[in-house]
């Protein structure tokens, strides 16, 4: 079954061309079932690219999903047209005031890793988002900086600055094969990594209630479950397109920013060759498992979420 998106959203045509089942809200309203209601709190600069990436993954299951787009209330993006933001995004304060509830929420990363959390301009509102998820969202998925922010807020787990950027496609070990979120996973898998900070395994293990699911000897923890807060935290980027790391590398080279060639990404680590996607199947598995777990456990009535 399809994901529901406005027909004028760029992702609608992109995903439809790729064979993803996409449905307009008008058509969805005529179906006699309750779709899952998901939201994307998009903190990334390239909003449209990020919309496409996450819609592609959660729209690949047999379930109908109504996807809503949310932004921070006061923060203004410089990389996406104001018309697009006005047409498709709602400020969090509007969503909060409405009292509406969601089966799932994704909180994306943001390119602000070097800042202490408290110095982020929208940190106060973001902590309100975290609190709101406990009463208005059945399951929350924090991605990269978004996951680091959540695990810090709820558990005090710190992010640590790296002396060089973790950049490339790194092998992850499946350390909890019985987890429903890792159903169908191999013993290891590759995932794109692009960050200047890390969360450390010993601090996760010292925090009560956290479960480490994917871990890497090179780049540290990747995926953590937080059952007490009905949340998953992933510190890397299963959602990335084939060429996202290439775009980041080419941008830094063009700007004269020191950057290493993303490891294990280009054949023979040669950036003149086309990169190969080594993570797509596990990306769909993880997000499909998450959507399925939400479907199996969320209340039938939206108004019962958080009770």
**What 3-state DSSP class applies to 27?**
helix
> What are phi and psi for residue 60, nearest 5 degrees?
-95, 5
In order, the DSSP letters of 244-307 are HHHHHHHHHHHHT---PPPBTTSGGG-TTSPP--SSHHHHHHHHHHHHHHHHHHS-SSGGGTT-
**What 3-state DSSP class applies to 202?**
helix
Residues forming the active site: 144, 237, 239
CB atoms within 10 A of CB 205: 12
The Cα–Cα gap between 259 and 253 comes to 7
What is the rounded end-to-end Cα distance, in angstroms, of the chain? 28
Residue pointed to by tokens 């996607």: 277
- Both structure tokens of 232: 């998953």
Residue pointed to by tokens 């080279």: 253
């Amino acid at each position: 079954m399809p994901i529901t998106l406005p027909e004028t959203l760029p992702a609608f045509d992109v995903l439809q061309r790729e064979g993803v089942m996409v449905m307009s809200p008008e058509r969805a309203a005529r179906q006699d079932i309750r779709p899952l209601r998901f939201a994307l709190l998009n903190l990334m600069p390239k909003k449209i690219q990020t919309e496409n990436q996450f819609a592609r993954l959660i729209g690949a299951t047999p379930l109908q999903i109504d996807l809503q787009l949310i932004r921070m209330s006061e923060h203004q993006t410089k990389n996406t047209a104001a018309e697009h933001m006005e047409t498709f995004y709602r400020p969090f304060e509007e969503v909060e005031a409405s009292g509406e509830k969601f089966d799932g929420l994704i909180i994306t990363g943001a390119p602000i890793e070097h800042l202490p959390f408290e110095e982020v301009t929208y940190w106060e509102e973001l902590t309100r988002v975290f609190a709101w998820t406990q009463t208005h969202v059945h399951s929350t998925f924090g991605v990269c900086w978004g996951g680091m922010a959540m695990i810090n807020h709820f558990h005090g787990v710190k992010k640590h600055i790296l002396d060089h950027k973790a950049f490339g496609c790194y092998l992850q070990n499946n350390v909890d094969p019985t987890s429903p979120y890792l159903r169908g996973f191999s013993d290891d898998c590759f995932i794109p990594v692009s960050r200047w900070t890390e969360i450390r395994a010993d601090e996760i293990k010292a925090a009560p209630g956290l479960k480490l699911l994917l871990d890497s000897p090179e780049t540290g923890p990747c995926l953590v479950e937080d059952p007490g807060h009905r949340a998953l935290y992933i510190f890397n980027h299963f959602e990335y397109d084939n060429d996202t790391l290439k775009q980041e590398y080419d941008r830094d080279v063009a700007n004269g920013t020191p950057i290493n060639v993303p490891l294990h990404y280009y054949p023979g680590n040669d950036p003149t060759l086309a990169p190969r996607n080594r993570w797509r199947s596990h990306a769909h598995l993880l997000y499909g498992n998450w959507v399925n777990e939400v479907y199996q456990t969320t209340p039938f009535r939206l108004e019962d979420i958080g009770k």
